[in-house]
Amino acid sequence: MMIALMALYIALLFSLVWLGIIRLNAFWKASPLIVLLLLNIGLFIPMGWGAPQGTALVARNAVSIVPPVAGEVIDVPVVANSPLKAGDVLFRIDPTPYDAQVKAIEAQLKLASTRLSQMTTLLERDAGRAFDVEQRQSEVDRLKAQLQTAQWNPDHATVRAPADGYVTNLALRKGARVANLPLSPVMAFIDTSDTIIAVEVDQIDARYVAPGQEVEIAFKFAPGKVFAGKVESVLQAVATGQTQVSGQAVTPKAISSVPFVVRVQLDDKEVAARLPAGATGTAAIFTDHVKAAHLIRRVLLRQIAILNYVVPF
């Protein structure tokens, strides 16, 4: 854009000299350098914080699927990278051991309830002890609690999708044995119910960025197009500014000025839902400052959108 403006000024200067309107003296010979300096100081440098530009990334929440119960997998009906609705079956674990456990506890509970009834009858007839009744009642209550836990197991032997999304990198097969350990997930589930679009903005340009401001993004995934949105929030922390509990003293390390992250929400929800996780692009945020530079930033962004047809990086 700066090259275009300078070329326009030089063409205008040449035309005025050729028409004899101005004389080509030392001032007019030096004027292109003066104009270049004024454009940088008065427009292009302030444009950095008036309409900051940064790299955009589309991300989605990933859920590591850990089965609630352990056992042998008997069915994996899900297909990798196919859309799923919340509650769709991901895989099934053999519920036979858990069903048998339920039946065993039900039999014990039935016997304990019968004994409780007998002890209660004897107590009412002054032929039994209150302690025996309380002991049998305690046994019934314990078995009921065990039964409730045992019934939970077969109900959760069928693992379902936690939200709308899809399973990726699926390696689980029928016959595999899985465990309900947090460090042993069996598949990765990508949640598509919410699209996260993050924009990195240099710290020197992030001073005026605030929620609600207009945003335009040109994605590599959709060359030639510019999508509108709004600033949803500005993340208040980055990893370099985070402290963690440890048993060590402060360890000095190199400090670098990393970009801040701005979360953006597209106006078109359908477009946001179609964007694949990992899609990148260039975003421009239009703040309430240096509004004269907004038009130039829009033109530059559209140039980037067109170049996305041929520029792969």
- Which residues neighbour 300 within 8 Å (Cβ) at sequence distance 6 or greater? 1, 53, 284
Whole-number pLDDT of residue 39: 67
| 3-state secondary structure at position 81 | coil
pLDDT at 91 over 80: yes
Most confident of 149-153, 230-234, 256-260: 230-234
Give residue 118's pLDDT band: very low, low, confident or very high (50, 70, 90): confident
Whole-number pLDDT of residue 197: 96
The fold adopted by the segment(s) 51-60+194-240+257-313 is Elongation Factor Tu (Ef-tu); domain 3 (2.40.30)
Whole-number pLDDT of residue 50: 92
Residue 245 zone, left/alpha/beta (φ > 0; ψ -120 to 50; rest): beta
Mean per-residue pLDDT for 12-20?
78
Mean pLDDT, all residues of the chain: 88
Tens digit of pLDDT for each residue in 173-227? 999 999 988 888 999 999 998 899 999 999 999 999 999 999 999 999 999 999 9
Whole-number pLDDT of residue 211: 95
pTM: 0.75
> What's 62-191's CATH class?
mainly beta
Task: Give the residue, 261 or 257, on which the prediction is more confident.
Answer: 261
Tens digit of pLDDT for each residue in 31-82? 778 767 776 777 778 888 899 999 999 999 999 999 999 999 999 999 999 9
CA distance 202 to 58: 18
CA distance 254 to 157: 50
Whole-number pLDDT of residue 218: 96
Residue 189 zone, left/alpha/beta (φ > 0; ψ -120 to 50; rest): beta
Domain boundaries, the chain: 1-48, 51-60+194-240+257-313, 62-191
> Quick one: DSSP state of residue 300?
H
